[in-house]
């Protein structure tokens, strides 16, 4: 059974992650928000520290990478309940995004592409791709949240696949040294033919077309990537190269089952930062938040704040549940989507409401609240929009296929 307290073995790690987030990310948050597309050089040292922690066994999943089912055991022994890399990654991401979402997404070797590798790559590929910084390329100009409608093609040619297509909104697309590209082996076979490929940026035929200017997460580069007859070694197809029409899209969805709780954790961390700063501003303004009195008998500001805290805690618990289920080899597709849907929506609503409650402080650059409200919007969109998550949950609850419930 899930324990709602932070696992004892992770408490020092979470404390350390918070300290690092405060000193490295929060301290540079406004600087790189204003200097859009400038590379945050301070992250090089932080990434080295994270790599060192992982190699020494002191840290697990200090960024967005390292989520893989069922490979953790408590103290080297089998146990009925495990808290492994999924849980530690989510706890770490919450602390990092309490500081800055964009800077977390900019951390070398900690991208969502790395999570995709960890989720579906075989053991040989895990070792071969160790140390790469991987962006993840899913979205296309005509394909938004419906990842099953991907048009980028991968055609087998000897010992390589030839990839053609265009990907948009690729996080860390310029800075990363490789890209996990989702492509179809055979469009006539639908979802089952979609596979992911690790494409090194050094290969001929892959290029960054442009960088996007964005509402939020400005410190994170977001690129348009074009694949023009890009020959990718066949062994770079992640996981099983066979097309299994019975399994359908399940293999590709395994990536989302692991990464969606991470994005939910990002929203939880960002919203927590806004709540903490807003609470301080309200208390300094003389607003009393009394948990022993009914909300309706308190001021609008106090009652609103209490309601936001309740929604935030619900999002947190859903996120922890999805991560815990992944660590314990339990199917978590529905819970991952529930966490992403709840946290993405509530995170954005909370940060916007905090702007409102904080008044001029919330709308100006004197505080980071306005920045968190901008950053939080993408967390309700990428890795599947609100509507897509609700559709997935409905299918699971009703036991219907994607063709039966669109």
Catalytic residue list? 383
CB 258 within 8 A of CB 69: yes
CB 255 within 8 A of CB 333: no
Across the strands, what pairs with 170? 223
CB-based contacts of 202, cutoff 8 Å, min separation 6: 177
Q: Where are the alpha helices (DSSP H) in 5-131?
A: 11-20, 29-34, 42-56, 85-99, 101-105, 112-120, 123-128
Q: How big is the chain by its Cα radius of gyration, in Å?
A: 21
Instruction: Please state, in angstroms and rounded to a whole number, the distance separating the CA atoms of residues 177 and 198.
Output: 10
CB 184 within 8 A of CB 193: yes
Instruction: Please state, in angstroms and rounded to a whole number, the distance separating the CA atoms of residues 270 and 344.
Output: 10
Query: Residue 75 gets which letter from DSSP?
Result: T
Question: Considering Cα of 140, then 263, then 357, then 281, what sign does the dihedral take?
Answer: negative
Annotate 85-115 with b (16+ C-beta within 10 A) or e (fewer). bbbbbbbbbbbbbbbbbbbbbbbbbbbbbbb
């Amino acid at each position: 059974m899930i324990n709602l307290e932070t696992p004892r073995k992770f408490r020092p790690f979470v404390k350390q992650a918070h300290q690092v987030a405060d000193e490295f990310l929060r301290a540079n948050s406004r600087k790189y928000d204003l200097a859009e597309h400038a590379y945050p050089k301070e992250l090089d040292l932080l990434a080295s520290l994270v790599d060192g922690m992982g190699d020494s066994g002191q840290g697990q999943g200090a960024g967005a990478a390292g989520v893989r089912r069922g490979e953790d055991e408590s103290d080297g022994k089998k146990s009925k309940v495990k808290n492994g890399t999924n849980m530690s990654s989510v706890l770490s991401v919450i602390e990092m995004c309490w500081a800055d979402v964009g800077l977390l997404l900019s951390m070398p070797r900690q991208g969502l592409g790395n999570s995709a590798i960890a989720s579906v790559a075989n053991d040989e590929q895990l070792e071969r791709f160790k140390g790469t910084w991987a962006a993840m390329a899913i979205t296309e100009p005509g394909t938004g949240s419906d990842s099953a409608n991907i048009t980028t093609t991968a055609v087998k040619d000897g010992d390589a696949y030839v990839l053609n297509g265009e990907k948009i909104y690729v996080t860390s697309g310029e800075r990363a040294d490789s890209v996990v590209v989702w492509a179809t082996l055979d469009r006539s076979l639908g979802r089952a033919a979609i596979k992911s490929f690790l494409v090194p940026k050094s290969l001929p035929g892959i290029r960054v077309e442009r960088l996007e200017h964005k509402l939020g997460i400005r410190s994170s580069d977001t690129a348009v990537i074009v694949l023009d007859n890009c020959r990718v070694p066949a062994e770079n197809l992640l996981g099983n190269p066979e097309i299994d029409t019975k399994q359908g899209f399940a293999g590709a969805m395994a990536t989302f089952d692991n990464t969606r709780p991470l994005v939910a954790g990002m929203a939880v961390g960002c919203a927590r930062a806004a709540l903490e700063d807003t609470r301080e501003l309200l208390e300094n303004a003389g607003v009393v938040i009394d948990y022993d009195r009914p909300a309706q008998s308190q001021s609008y500001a106090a009652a609103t704040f209490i309601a936001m805290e309740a929604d935030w805690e619900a999002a947190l618990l859903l996120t922890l549940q999805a991560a815990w289920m992944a660590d314990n080899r339990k199917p978590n597709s529905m819970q991952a989507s529930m966490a992403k849907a709840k946290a993405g929506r509530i995170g954005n609503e909370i940060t916007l409401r905090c702007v409102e409650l904080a008044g001029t402080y919330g709308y100006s650059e004197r505080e980071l609240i306005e920045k968190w409200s901008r950053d939080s919007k993408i967390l309700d969109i990428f890795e599947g929009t609100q509507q897509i998550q609700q559709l997935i949950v409905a299918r699971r609850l009703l036991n219907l296929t994607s063709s039966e419930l669109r």
